[in-house]
A and B are shown apart, each in its own frame.
Chain A
Amino acid sequence: MNPPETNDPLDKMLREQNSHIDDAGFTARVVSALPRRHLRFRLRPILLLAAAAIGSVLATLWLPRAGLPVLSAPALFSLDFQVLGPWAILLLVAASLTWAVIAAMRPED
């Protein structure tokens, strides 16, 4: 929405003074100075997801072969690392993966 045209001579003078500036090579200078924009944008999600995947593999290797220990109320309160450790690692991996996916999807500032 443009401001209403007025009969004010000052407004008229100001509008008349708004002359066109010749390009004179300006556009060419700008275009030749353009940096690569998308490369970093594509690399970041790949790096994040790769790091998260490697972390997940390492965490899986560290988990006990017999599977996750059963969580019960006494085990929870016992603060036994044998029981809580694998669960803590699993939660950490899940949180890291979620964060990596969100960060990878967000556009760069």
Chain B
Amino acid sequence: MPFTDADLIARVLAREDHNAFGELVRRHQSPVRAFLARMTRGDAHLADDLAQETFLKVWKKLHTFRGNARFSTWLFGIAFNEFRDFARQRKELALEDADDLPVESAAAGDGLLRLDLTEAMKSLSSSERAAVVLCCQNGLSHAEVSQVLDCPLGTVKTNILRGKDKLRRRLAPAYKDYESAGN
């Protein structure tokens, strides 16, 4: 029977077990790196650096994990804090609304629509992007997103609605084709 996250955490805390921690990283690296890649507007190298810092922080702070939330939720919280700290230091990734960023026009076809979605995501503000990615892509509940982003539940719901509305407007032409194709 495979170890649960709780088993692995217990082994890390009791024995400083690098293998157990490696297994935790292996399990969670993909969603964390994908989330950070979204947050950094597609900069994979920067996202990986932030993800590595995230896991090193997890290693140092694992004893503070109380287990009253899912480990992945706690992990996303640390990842978001890493991104936020970095963005505060670097003005170019500041937490501003990037609504006026140019976005390439949408084109018909599923593959192109995916590319357009990636581009359209870049036009969301950091708060909207984080809320949409965590809720709609990673399946976190609104309450969990609120915990990760450390903001009120109402703000999370507003950011998700506003973010999705922006995406629909950005994707309008191709989005209609996608809908009419029965997807």
Contacts and interface: CB of A to CB of B under 8 A. Distances in A.
Q: Do A and B come from one complex?
A: yes
B146 interface: no
A31 B64 contact: no
B167 A3 contact: no
B18 A23 contact: no
Contacts of B34: 18-19, 21
Main secondary structure of the interface of B (DSSP, over half): helix
Contacts of A31: 18, 21-22, 25
Interface residues of B, number: 44
A37 interface: yes
B74 to A, nearest CB: 16
Interface string A1-32: 11100000111111111111111001111110
A16 B51 CA distance: 22
Contact of B56 (A17, A19, A20, A34): A34
Contacts, number: 96
Contact of A11 (B56, B136, B144): B136
Question: Which of B25, B31, B48, B117 lies at the interface centre, i.e. has the most chain A CB atoms within 10 A of its CB?
Answer: B25
Interface in B78-113: 113
B134 to A, nearest CB: 10
B6 interface: no
Interface string B37-77: 10000000000100110011001100110000000000000
13 contacts: A1-B144, A2-B140, A10-B167, A10-B171, A15-B136, A26-B25, A27-B25, A30-B25, A30-B29, A30-B52, A37-B16, A37-B60, A38-B16
Interface of A: 1-3, 9-23, 26-31, 33-38, 41, 107-109
